[in-house]
Amino acid sequence: MPFFPVFKETLVLPLPLKEVKEKLRKRLVADGDLPEEKKGKFNGKVFENTFRISLYINYPDNYLPLMVGELEATSKGTLVFITYRLFPFVFAF
């Protein structure tokens, strides 16, 4: 058993890379969102071929998992490699 909890998974999606990035960005909280619009959305950033996101909540919770992912285009879609782990600050406790 690892000292720090980490879970990894790989998703195979039949969507092109560009569409996967668009769908991820649509689920991120925007600056002008009203509180009811933020429910079920995520905080974070989507970069060129990677992303770092966590579930949006309106109260402090250091034990939410951070999802760090890598996107890779294939001829038939997109591979998404996701690593779930705790925020680095949690390890200080």
pLDDT digits (tens, 9 = 90+) for 33-89: 777 788 889 999 999 999 999 988 888 777 788 999 999 999 999 999 999 998 766
Question: If you ran DSSP here, which 8-state letter would residue 53 be given?
Answer: E
Of 45, 48, 52, the C-alpha closest to 18 is 48
Angle in degrees, CA 43, 85, 80, rounded to 5: 70
pTM above 0.85, yes or no: no
Let me know: does 69 contact 51? Beta carbons within 8 Å.
yes
Question: If you ran DSSP here, which 8-state letter would residue 75 be given?
Answer: T
Q: CATH number of the domain at 66, please.
A: 3.30.530
The domain total for the chain is 1
Let me know: does 69 contact 80? Beta carbons within 8 Å.
yes
Range of the domain at 14: 6-92
pLDDT of 90: 59
Both tokens of 92, joined, read 């200080």
Q: Is 1 within a domain?
A: no
Q: Sheet of 42-46: strands edge to edge?
A: 6-13, 77-86, 65-74, 50-55, 42-46
